[in-house]
Amino acid sequence: MIQPISKSSNHANQTVCLSSAYLAPTAYYSKLYAYSHAIIEQHDHYVKQTYRNRCVIATANGPLALTIPTESNAGAKCIMRDVRISDHGNWRHLHWNALESAYRQSPFYEYYADDFRPLYEKHYTFLFDFNEELCQLVCSLIGFAPHIIRSAEYISAYSSETDDFRELIHPKCDFRTDRDFHAHPYYQVFNQRHGFLPNLSIVDLLFNMGPESLLVLRNSCSI
């Protein structure tokens, strides 16, 4: 078992605000690692085509986006905490099959699969709750325990003591513009076919690197 890593990040005594995210990319988890406190926004307006309900994994054919369907009333004026998951298209089964197909040959898939499977067998009503449980699971499996709270209200602009990444960690934003995150390369199943694919869902890192995922997160932060 890897020993705990002492945080020496220059963000160690600050707070970060993040959006809710479905199996978020490594950039997101690098913030949970680097900051001593994290606020997960639950009062913002739900926005489609973001990490709130989608993640990106690596498959034999390249990157694949997995999207959780939401109820039709989850429009621009719907608060994130109120967004309901739709059962349309048997998505739980499809997502689990996609994860299994992509990572069954990875070094640690069999080791962690039984931890994730129950969450895909359970029917969650709200997207925020599902994302939150996945995040708690991922952090526990990687081996760190960030201090995370839900937002009490929506604040459009935080003070200088809180770094706001709610809209900066986004599929349409280039993660390379974040000077505090560097996508540290690690082993991936399809490296020889596609080369290293950076900033994928955290499960890509976990299934490929197991306990060493914490080292990769540390090396992805500006220290």
* 3 inside domain: no
Residue 183 confidence (pLDDT):
96
Q: What does the pLDDT read at residue 160?
A: 86
Question: Residue 160: inside a domain, yes or no?
Answer: no
In a domain, 96, yes or no: yes
Task: Give the residue numbers spanning the domain of 48.
Answer: 15-154+172-220
What are 214's two structure tokens?
């914490």
Cβ–Cβ < 8 Å for 222, 182: yes
pLDDT at 74: 64
Q: How many domains does the chain have?
A: 1
| 67: β partners | 54
pLDDT digit string (tens) for 60-72? 999 999 999 999 7
Residue 161, domain member (yes or no): no
pTM above 0.85, yes or no: yes
User: Can you give the pLDDT at residue 65?
Assistant: 98
Determine phi and psi for 81, rounding to 5 degrees. Answer: -65, -15
Residue 159 lies in a domain: no
CB 143 within 8 A of CB 4: yes
Q: Is residue 166 part of a domain?
A: no
Asked whether residue 40 is assigned to any structural domain, the reply reads yes
Lookup: tokens for 127: 């997207």
Question: Is residue 48 situated within a structural domain?
Answer: yes
Tens of each residue's pLDDT in the chain, 223 residues: 333 344 444 555 589 999 999 999 999 999 999 999 999 999 999 998 999 999 999 999 999 999 999 997 766 689 999 999 998 889 999 999 999 999 999 999 999 999 999 999 999 999 999 999 999 999 999 999 999 999 999 999 998 889 999 999 999 999 999 999 999 999 999 999 999 999 999 999 999 999 999 999 999 997 5
Tell me the DSSP string of the chain: -PPPPPP--TTTT-EEEEE--SS-BHHHHHHHHH-SEEEEE-SSBP-SSSTTSEEEEEETTEEEEEE--B-TT--TT-BGGGPBBP-GGGHHHHHHHHHHHHHTTSTTHHHHHHHHHHHHHS--SBHHHHHHHHHHHHHHHHT---EEEE-SS--SS--TTEEE-TTTSSTTS-GGG-TTB-------TTHHHH----S-BHHHHHHHHGGGHHHHHHHHB--
